[in-house]
Structure 1
Amino acid sequence: MRPSTTGRTDGAALVARLEGLPFTKLHKRIVAIVATAYLVDAADVAILTFVLAPISAEFHLSALQTGSVASLAFVGMAIGSAGAGWLSDRFGRRPIFTMSMLLWGFASLLTAFAFNYESLLACRFLTGIGMGAELPCAVALISEYLPARRRGAYLGSAQILVVLSFLIAGGATLVLDWRLAFVLMFVLSMFAFVVRRGVPESVRWQVARGRIDHARATLARFEALAPAGTPPATVELKTPTAHGPLRDLFTGAQRRRTATAWAMWFFQLLAQYGINIWIAKLLVDHGASVAKSIGTTMFMLAWGIPGTLIACYLLERLGRRPVYAGAAVLTSAAALWYGLASSSTWALVAGCVMNVFLAAMTAGVNAYTPELFSTGARATGAGTASAAGRIGSVIGPLVVPAVLVAWGFTGTFLVLALCFLVAAAVVLLFGRETRGEVLENLTE
């Protein structure tokens, strides 16, 4: 149901009141709950980096089969992201968010009981659908509650959760075998019930769907927690006409923004997962023990935390485009340095530097993506952009073995470095700056 003209006027006033509120306890609770849910989802994604080697050994997988296990999960994530984004725009952020967590949690439990290569593929595909479905719901929900003055920093800081998820996943695989690690992921997915009880539906989504009374009731919960004497909102908002989630992605100037988002995600994740999903196994192939390769990978990934913090500071001062493009160029240079490293020591240094800039790059794409789409199509836009990235994630792990054979370690990282440069060029040439602007005023 779409709002009438009167409903759009009333809805715009409600969104303006939401945007003008101070950061209340309810804002903080939503951020904390969604961040925790995102952390456990990311841990399930990250865990494959550390268990790929022992799984490959147990099932006697070839290099192609090993890559297929990783890639099929990303195929599922692409389907889940695109499908759940559309469902979230139609039926609400919160219910699809909750169901996505239950789906990937159950599929992780099934993975723990995989008995051969084929059953493992099926389980990881189903897990991927659930994991991919969570991202657009979380991004849309949290971006629609954050005021413009805080949105970039908070969305960008989600990358810290991704880094922490790799550290949690790596730590879990040091003390648990790979089957018990997936059982742990199932247990963590039960946090979905906290999401269901603790997170209200998006006011902006309720307004966009014409549910003005529901939006008014939800907003009242925030206003009840605002300090006495909070001044009335003075934010001026545009009220773009919605045509439906899919049509909105390709209407007028939105086509360019949609293409920009898709290209950013595709080229970044192709290179990023081409590096990350194989990095621990490549260390094993070069003589390191599984435990040592996991420890080294965790150490390098931890450097993403300072990279994210720096990016979050700069996102609200310099803007989304320069931070993302600059981080992408520096990531490209660091990736090439990693490939050219002449010793294990220099490889470690280059890997740490690369993760600083890669984390900053990811903070930028996390902040920028939901700002490129209107409320009626935000989850669909973020979901399809993520799906484009997951297609890149499928290609990356599959291409790396072939490129390694043909061009060696240095040539492989040169190709991956070029992908980061393409992502930077797309944003500089076709992106628009969104820093400090209210979401409703970004859709012209």
Structure 2
Amino acid sequence: MRDTPESGQFSTDVPARLDRLPWSGFHWRVVIALGITWILDGLEVTLVGSLAAAIHQSPSLALTETQIGLTASAYLIGAVVGALGFGWLADRIGRRRLFFITLIVYMLASIATGFAWNFWTFALCRMLTGAGIGGEYAAVNSAIQELIPARLRGRVDLFVNGTFWGGAAIGAVTALVVLDPAIIDPEIGWRAAFIVGGALSLIVLLLRRHLPESPRWLMLHGRPEEGEKIVADIERDVAAETGPLPPTTYGPIRLNRRGAASLSEIWRTMFDTHRDRAILGLTLMSCQAFCYNAVFFTYALVLTKFYAIPAHEIGWFMLPFALGNLAGPLLLGRFFDTIGRKVMITATYGLAGLLMAATGFAFAQGWLSAWEQTAAWTLIFFFASAAASAAYLTVGESFPLEMRAMAIALFYAIGTAVGGVVGPTLFGWLISSGERGDIFWGYLIAAALMLVAAGTEWRLGFAAEGRSLEDVSAPLSATAANR
């Protein structure tokens, strides 16, 4: 690293050194400590879906189908606000500090959900839980992309986001226990599920104590010496485990010492310099959010209302659905680094849309049993899960590092507000009508949006596989330094 104090400029090879690292225990620690939040989120959200019928029948809450849809929307509204607020902070005070703040918010709110006594307290706790998770999406996705080598970034990012469904599978099995009257009173069971799920966050807090700040964040916020020291420590540990490190494949970059991007810079970069990428990110995030949240948050209601599945058996149907969602990123993730982002994102969105339309029609005609309906959803979301994870990957790669967390937060917030908040409320209302034909129109809307996203990716998508983050989108400080 070479400093020029007079100009405030310096050269650094931190990105090249991070990208050349072989996979090691350090990378596993990053994936586990950060990705485990998605497991808890999946556990949380699946429990809500699986417990929807029990909460609907709860003597103390007795929420209607519409109110259950509204609480799902409250969770997503909280996620929107949390993503924006915590995303803004992550670009200013660092990724590491936010890891702890957002997790504590999530933990306390989830535990409080188990003590809710009416619709309003339940909705408030769900909103605060969502705020913690929304903040996690921004900080965690940023850190993972900045710490993982470029050649593996796509598959690792998809895998980490896909672990949500590992938590969903755990949530499905948990629901089988807490909703079985022979084991525990369902009124106590659904409350205990939230309390225990939140308490598990303590384990994550301990795991994150040993993670460093992102060297790239330090580098771009006028603290290159600290970033250099962290990279040197990482290299020493990796070399001790894997042997001599390979040479770097590209040279240093020249940067200006500066802080976080201003709101005017963020706006100009997103909607002027990278307008096509902004359109792409908004489309991918909004379309997958509507499709996912509309179906997932009302999954249990469809099974109980139209297939007469008892509430305590919903977990058996959630389990294959969750495993299919987990398998998608795991099995398809590597192709996003080999075949390429554009082809794979287009294909996964397109296949999910076509299958959604076909399944919706079969549901409307009454052709499917409960298990056949579940098998169809499992296949749809095998592809949709990889597509949704790729949306976060795309947004993170699209914009300069100084505004990465805020970009992820903003697009997550807009996508969730447009697609996620409307979806559960709309489907809750359609389900309450009791008519399959009404719900079919909701499925058609979801299918059409996924196809729109596929077409947008094919038109505006860009190659990011194997390229450094700084090459895909030059840092604002690098642009200024080279003027």
Q: Same fold (TM over 0.5)?
A: yes
- In the other structure, the counterpart of 1:45 is 45
1:331–1:357 contact (8 Å) kept in structure 2: yes
- In the other structure, the counterpart of 1:236 is 251
Given residue 219 of structure 2, which amino acid in structure 1 is its aligned partner? V
Q: Does 1:399 align with 2:411?
A: no
Distance in 2 of aligned mates of 1:116 and 1:401: 19
CA positional deviation for 1:292: 2.6
Q: Does 1:253 align with 2:246?
A: no
Q: Does 1:211 align with 2:223?
A: yes
Give 3-state SS (helix, strand or coil) of 2:212's partner.
Answer: coil
Give 3-state SS (helix, strand or coil) of 2:22's partner.
Answer: coil
Matches within 5 A, 1:10-409: 10=11, 12-58=12-58, 59-176=61-178, 177-227=189-239, 228-236=243-251, 244=261, 246=263, 247-251=265-269, 252-286=272-306, 287-341=308-362, 342-344=367-369, 345-391=371-417, 392-403=419-430, 405=433, 407-409=437-439
Given residue 423 of structure 1, which amino acid in structure 2 is its aligned partner? A
Judge which range, 238-247 or 79-88, deviates more: 238-247
- In the other structure, the counterpart of 2:458 is 428
Given residue 273 of structure 2, which amino acid in structure 1 is its aligned partner? A
Given residue 261 of structure 2, which amino acid in structure 1 is its aligned partner? G
Distance in 2 of aligned mates of 1:5 and 1:317: 44
CA positional deviation for 1:301: 2.5
Residues 148 and 94 (structure 1), Cα distance of their counterparts in 2 relative to 1, 3 Å cut: same
CA positional deviation for 1:236: 3.5
Give 3-state SS (helix, strand or coil) of 2:466's partner.
Answer: coil
CA positional deviation for 1:74: 0.3
Distance in 2 of aligned mates of 1:42 and 1:297: 12
Query: Given the two structures, how large is their TM-score scaled by the length of structure 2?
Result: 0.86
1:67–1:397 contact (8 Å) kept in structure 2: yes
Distance in 1 of aligned mates of 2:348 and 2:267: 27
Given residue 212 of structure 1, which amino acid in structure 2 is its aligned partner? P
Distance in 2 of aligned mates of 1:377 and 1:199: 21
2:31–2:160 contact (8 Å) kept in structure 1: no
Distance in 2 of aligned mates of 1:26 and 1:266: 34
Say which one has the larger Rg.
Answer: 2
Judge which range, 63-72 or 157-166, deviates more: 157-166
Distance in 2 of aligned mates of 1:278 and 1:102: 28
CA positional deviation for 1:100: 0.4
1:30–1:198 contact (8 Å) kept in structure 2: no
Judge which range, 392-401 or 59-68, deviates more: 59-68
Distance in 1 of aligned mates of 2:246 and 2:305: 63
Deviations 1:163-209 (A, max 9, x none): 11111112222222110001112211113422441110000000010
CA positional deviation for 1:424: 1.4
Residues 89 and 285 (structure 1), Cα distance of their counterparts in 2 relative to 1, 3 Å cut: same
Given residue 381 of structure 1, which amino acid in structure 2 is its aligned partner? A
Query: Given the two structures, how large is their TM-score scaled by the length of structure 1?
Result: 0.93
Residues 38 and 410 (structure 1), Cα distance of their counterparts in 2 relative to 1, 3 Å cut: closer
1:274–1:397 contact (8 Å) kept in structure 2: yes
Given residue 350 of structure 1, which amino acid in structure 2 is its aligned partner? A
Given residue 457 of structure 2, which amino acid in structure 1 is its aligned partner? V
Given residue 359 of structure 1, which amino acid in structure 2 is its aligned partner? S
Given residue 195 of structure 2, which amino acid in structure 1 is its aligned partner? V
1:281–1:293 contact (8 Å) kept in structure 2: no
Identity between Structure 1 and Structure 2 (%): 25
Give 3-state SS (helix, strand or coil) of 1:315's partner.
Answer: helix
Deviations 1:20-63 (A, max 9, x none): 23233322222221122332233223322112221122222223
CA positional deviation for 1:239: 5.2
CA positional deviation for 1:403: 4.3
Residues 100 and 350 (structure 1), Cα distance of their counterparts in 2 relative to 1, 3 Å cut: same
Give 3-state SS (helix, strand or coil) of 1:343's partner.
Answer: coil
Distance in 2 of aligned mates of 1:50 and 1:340: 24
Deviations 1:213-267 (A, max 9, x none): 2111111111212335424423136557777153235324223323321221111
Deviations 1:109-141 (A, max 9, x none): 111110111111111111111111111111001
Residues 32 and 402 (structure 1), Cα distance of their counterparts in 2 relative to 1, 3 Å cut: closer
CA positional deviation for 1:351: 1.8
- In the other structure, the counterpart of 1:415 is 445
- In the other structure, the counterpart of 1:437 is 467
2:17–2:248 contact (8 Å) kept in structure 1: yes
